[in-house]
Structures are given as structure tokens and as C-alpha cells.
Amino acid sequence: MATLWFGLVAFMFVTYVVLDGFDLGVGAVHLLLARGETERKTLLATIGPVWDGNEVWLIGAGATLFMAFPALYAASFSGFFLPLMIVLWLLMGRGIALEFRNHLDHPVWRPFWDVVFSVSSALLAVSLGVALGNVIRGVPLDASGQFFVPLWTGLRLTPPTGFIDWYTLLAGLLALAALTMHGSLWAAVKTSGDLAERARGFARKAWAATALLAGAGTIATFSVQPLIPARLSAHAEGLVFPVLALAGLVLARWLMEKDADVRAFLSSCLFLAGLLASTAFGLFPYVLPSNADPARSLTVFAAASADHGLRVALWWWIPGMLLVTGTFVFLYRNFAGRVEAKDGDPARPAVR
């Protein structure tokens, strides 16, 4: 039961990264990609109706983690106290920027919120990568199963480590590059003309950075966290995940050449999902390795709630997820197709 819920929670986090990833990526490139108010409006309209729903996957995943693995939720959230709170402020700044921007049509007001939106989106992309890097590297769990990491203690990996060191920073940059590619591909799918052409150019450059950082990141991960290569060689069936990630990456580049926007975007989804699934599979059964004393590493079994509660939760989780899938299909179908915004044709009317 614990293993099943590990898979379900991982599925929710992966879905979060794939979905919110593209709107974070759009945010990260927003200032550079869109020129002039009309293009900015167009670009924002590509994510306007969906970003909030995408972000709910993070909340849903977090709450499901709380229910299924209270010990992991308690240890990791309190241990990453400062970085998580800063992530919260970034999430706030980003959501507020998207909404506030719409309420006032003014040449000083809108550029301000564009900067807030873009900078917080880029920093969130980096933070997600750094956070994942921390989980892979491990944290200094004490005998009571708790830890506390400061923001940084220097870039070296020797304990005591902070939230940011060279390895987690590398993971953060990989996340930024990958989500930039992901977001640019989404923009290429959803817009047309010059804007879409520029988005394709961005995606190609971001692909090169992603490929380079993913290569470096994989080598670094294998040396920083030997659990992952050990598990992958012991359970060869798990190799399917890294293979899928690699296939997604290669396909994305090939499809970009052919200007097949939709399929390139889907390949990018495959790449992100494959990468995250490889990590989850590689760490299993550990959910929070200890970099101080390996014996204190938290396993999925030690962190899980009792079986009865987990079994009961399936009765609402499965229908709930079917409903969510249905409503998301409904949402994306209603907003399918390329977005065209003309001058004076706001996605939502603003006060002048």
C-alpha cells in the first residue's frame, strides 16, 4: 500500500512539473520573448485560463503527501523551512502579478507586473530544481528523523550542507533550461506569426542548454548519490524511465526541426516525466536519504500512514482523479487552438 501511494504521489508531482512547468517556462521567457503590449498580452493569454489549475497539482500533491506520508511531509517541510517560505513568496508574487496586471491598463502598471511575473517564474523554476537536488543529495537527518538546512553554507558538498551547493545549483539550472524549453514550445504551439517563430528559436537554444546540463547532471547525480546507479543496475526494468527521458529529449529536437510544434511539446513532456520518474525509481524505497548517516535515511515504509487509512483514501482519490482528468480535458479543449490578441482586444477587459 505504501509503495502504491509512493507511485500516486510521484504521479501527482510529475503532473505538476509537466503542467505548471510550461506556464513557469512561459513566465521565465516572457520579458525576452514577447515584444510590445500586444505580444505580451497574447503570450499571457496562452496560460491565463490554465495556470491556476496547473498550480493546484502542487497543492494537491502536497496535501496527498501529508495524508499518505506524514513523517516525510513533517521532516521535509520543517527542514526546508526557509527555502519553502521563499518559494511561497515567489508563488504569491507570480499569481498576483498575473491577476493584478489585468485590472489596470496603464503603461507604468503593466511592465512592472511583467517583470514581477517573469522574475518570480524563473526563480521558481530554479527553486524546483534545487529542491529536487536536495532530496537526491540527501539531508542531515538526526536520530529523531528531523533536520534543518540553512539556505547556503558554501558551495561544497561536505556537511554541513545548505539548500544551495554546486550540485543543487546545477539541478536548478537544469530545471530552468528544461522549463524554458518546455514553455517556449508551449508558446510555439499556442501562438502564430513572429511570436511563434521566435519561440521556436528560443526552444532550440534552450534545448542545447538542457541537453548539456542534463548530461552533466546525470554524471554528477551518479557520483553524488550512489543509491541511484546501484538501484538502476539491480533493477534493470527501471531503465525504461531514463530511456524514455532520453527519447523525449532526442525526439523534441528532431520534431523542432520539422516545426511540429505540438509533437515537440509532447516530447518535452515525455522528457520531463521520464527524468523525474527515473529519479523517483532510482531513490526508491528511500524518499529522503540522509547524507550524514545512511542508516537514518527515511524509507517510504517508515514514512507511510497505516494501511487502513491508505486503503480508504483510494476510494476518494481514484474517483477524484477521474473527475480531475475529465475537467482538465474539458478546460484544455475549450481553450484549444492558437491565441490571437489584437490591439484593444484584451483577454479580459480592464479598467482604463
Partner 1 sequence: MDSALTVHRLTFAFTSIYHYLFPQLTMGLALYIVVLKTLETRRADPHYGRAARFWARIFGLNFVMGVVTGIPLEFQFGTSWATFSRFSGAVVGQTLAMEGVLSFFLESVFLGIFLYGEGRVSRRVHTLSAWMLCLGTWLSGVFIVATNAWMQYPVGFQVDGGNLQLESLGALFTNPWLPWQYLHTMAGSVVTASFVMASVGAFYLLAGRAERFGRTVLRLAVPGGLAAAVAMAFPTGDGQGKNVARYQPVTLAAMEGLFETKQGAALALVGQPDMERLRLDNPIEVPRLLSFLTYNRWKAEVKGLDAFPRETWPQNVPLLYYGYHIMVGLGTIFIGVLGLSALLLWKDRLFAMRPALWLLMLMLPFPYIANTTGWMTAELGRQPWLVYGVLRTAAGVSPNVSAGNGLFVLLGFLGMYALLGILALFLLAREIEHGPEPTEAAEGGR
Site residues (vs partner 1, CB under 8 A) = 45, 48-50, 52-53, 55-56, 59-60, 62-64, 66-71, 73-82, 84-85, 88-89, 91-92, 95-96, 98-100, 102-104, 144, 146-148, 305-306, 308-309, 312-313, 315-317, 320-321, 323-324, 327-328, 330-331, 334-335, 347-348, 351-352
Residue 230: CB minimum distance to partner 1, A: 29
Compute the distance between CA of residue 249 and CA of residue 218 in angstroms, rounded to an integer.
14
Q: Which is closer to partner 1, CB of 88 or CB of 115?
A: 88
Q: Which is closer to partner 1, CB of 77 or CB of 152?
A: 77
Residue 24: CB minimum distance to partner 1, A: 15
What string of H, E and C letters represents the secondary structure of the chain?
CHHHHHHHHHHHHHHHHHHHHHHHHHHHHHHHHCCHHHHHHHHHHHHCCCHHHHHHHHHHHHHHHHHHCHHHHHHHHHHCHHHHHHHHHHHHHHHHHHHHHHCECCCCHHHHHHHHHHHHHHHHHHHHHHHHHHHHHCECCCCCCCCCCCCECCCCCCCCCCCECHHHHHHHHHHHHHHHHHHHHHHHHHCCHHHHHHHHHHHHHHHHHHHHHHHHHHHHHHHHCCHHHHHHHHCHHHHHHHHHHHHHHHHHHHHHHCCCHHHHHHHHHHHHHHHHHHHHHHHCCEEECECCCHHHCEEHHHHCCCHHHHHHHHHHHHHHHHHHHHHHHHHHHHCCCCCCCCCCCCCCCCEC
Residue 71: CB minimum distance to partner 1, A: 5
Q: Which is closer to partner 1, CB of 31 or CB of 331?
A: 331
Compute the distance between CA of residue 318 and CA of residue 35 in angstroms, rounded to an integer.
44
Compute the distance between CA of residue 335 and CA of residue 211 in angstroms, rounded to an integer.
31
Q: Which is closer to partner 1, CB of 194 or CB of 345?
A: 345
Q: Which is closer to partner 1, CB of 271 or CB of 317?
A: 317
Q: Which is closer to partner 1, CB of 258 or CB of 342?
A: 342
Residue 60: CB minimum distance to partner 1, A: 4
Residue 298: CB minimum distance to partner 1, A: 11
CA distances from 343 to 17, 36, 39, 41, 214 (A): 33, 10, 9, 9, 40
How wide is the angle at C-alpha 242 spanned by C-alphas 239 and 284, nearest 5°?
65
Place of cell 499571457: 44
Q: Which is closer to partner 1, CB of 30 or CB of 200?
A: 30
Q: Which is closer to partner 1, CB of 82 or CB of 266?
A: 82
Residue 179: CB minimum distance to partner 1, A: 20
Q: Which is closer to partner 1, CB of 82 or CB of 209?
A: 82
Residue 209: CB minimum distance to partner 1, A: 30
Residue 336: CB minimum distance to partner 1, A: 11
Place of cell 521563499: 86
Residue 113: CB minimum distance to partner 1, A: 10
